[in-house]
Structure formats: structure tokens, C-alpha cells
Structure 1
């Protein structure tokens, strides 16, 4: 059996309580837990493993951001094309109909904002409906 040195360590009450609880739960000696933790901390592989794990997480985040950017660009293009087509196909209103159209447009806009708010706060999103419709065909 290797020679063991005694070491007195000070730690906060919270950490000491967590250590005692963990040792009791795992039925391990506190000294063994502390020794394993220090060995892991001082191990050169430990920092390499942490760095590799961090790199994997960062890569995943970058891929997610790339997908979000692609999706946002696609949505902006779709909205732009729709607006261009709508403006091209919609004839201008006569001067007499402007006030009525503005009033009706304001009502429709408020209805649109209310619908958007409901959809964004709920589980049903248009993109999910479109995907589900495509899968059901």
C-alpha cells in the first residue's frame, strides 16, 4: 500500500455538506472522493478532455447559428418576394377609397398582430404546420 500523507483542508460549509452527502450516498470515504477529485483536476488529460468537450460544444453552437442564419435569410427572401408580388398585382386605390381602405387596413393589421401574438405564445407555429402537412402527404 502506498504511503499516504495527511492533509488538512478548509472548505466552505456548503461544500463540506455536499461532500458528506455524496460520500454517504455513494458509501465512499470522503478522503477517497477528495483524492479522486484532486487527481482528476491535476491530470493533464483532464484539461485536454475539457478543451475537447468545449470545442465540440462550440462547434455545435456554430452549426446551430449557421442554420438560424440560413433560415432567417430564407424567411426574409420569402417575405420580400411576397411583398413584391403583392405590390405588383395590387392596383392603386382611387382617392375616394383611401380613407376607407386605411381604416380597414388598420383593423386587419391589429387582427394580424393579435393572431401573431397568439401563435407565438402557443405551441402551434405555421412552420410546424407546413412541415406536418408535408409529412402527411
Structure 2
């Protein structure tokens, strides 16, 4: 059902509406209705802007996760190095050769373990929030 509405237009605009209606073979009401619908509907640029906004929001969240992960990685490495340097005593000259061999073996084991974890999709960084949450539930103090 349609409702009637009276609107007023300047004479030159009424002439443009009438000319367009004649050329298109439509009523003047149909022309005005199409114009109002177009005005009330989001246009292509509005839809594109909304799509870009959603994409930018998603990219922002991804960059924030990357920043967090890089920060955790850097802090983990720094703490490990400080701990390692603090507790590792210097080796006597005669033990350095065997220690270097053992170090290479351990490093190769580390690289193999890392490769297996990455192939399975396991990530230390994804485990951290779970560990923190478990500590919080248990009442255990965080370091």
C-alpha cells in the first residue's frame, strides 16, 4: 500500500523531473521515488568504505598480535640469555673442546625439536596465555 505525500520542488527541478520521466517513459512519481531510494541507500563508495574499515580493523588486530608475539619472543630470549650467562661457569681449557662438541649436539637436537613443533603447528606463544590463565585460576603467583 502506498501513502500520499505532498512535496514542493523549484520549477526548474520539476521541469527536469518531467523531462526525464518523458524520456524514460516513467511517471514523475517513479522518478522521484527512485531518487529518494538512491538517497536513502548506501552507495558504492559507502559500501567500499565499510569494507575497507572492516579490513583495516582486521589488519590492526593482526599487527597487534604480531607486536605482542615479537615482544614476548624478545623478552623470552633476553631472560634466557641473562639466566644462562649468570649460571654458566667458565670452562677450563681442556674441557672446551668436548663442550663445543656437546653444544653442537644439543643445538642440533634443539633445531630438530623446533622443526617438529612447527610442522605440527605447535607454538610456544600460543601456550603462554593458557599457562597464565591456569596460574590465575590456581592462585599461583606470576613471576
Matched, 1:57 2:55: yes
> Secondary structure of the equivalent of 2:89?
coil
Tell me the TM-score normalised to structure 2 length: 0.58
- In the other structure, the counterpart of 2:116 is 118
Which stretches of structure 1, 4 residues or more, deviate above 6 A after TM superposition? Answer: none
* Larger relative contact order (CA 8 Å, sep ≥ 6): 2
RMSD over aligned Cα, in angstroms? 2.6
Deviation at 1:112, TM superposition (A): 0.5
Aligned residues: 99
Aligned-partner Cα distance in 2 for 1:70–1:116: 21
Aligned-partner Cα distance in 2 for 1:3–1:68: 59
> Secondary structure of the equivalent of 1:109?
helix
Aligned-partner Cα distance in 2 for 1:124–1:66: 20
Matched, 1:70 2:74: no
Larger radius of gyration: 2
Q: Within 5 Å, give how 1:25-104 maps onto structure 2.
A: 45-104=43-102
> Secondary structure of the equivalent of 2:84?
helix
Gaps of 5+ in 2: 1-23, 27-37, 139-143
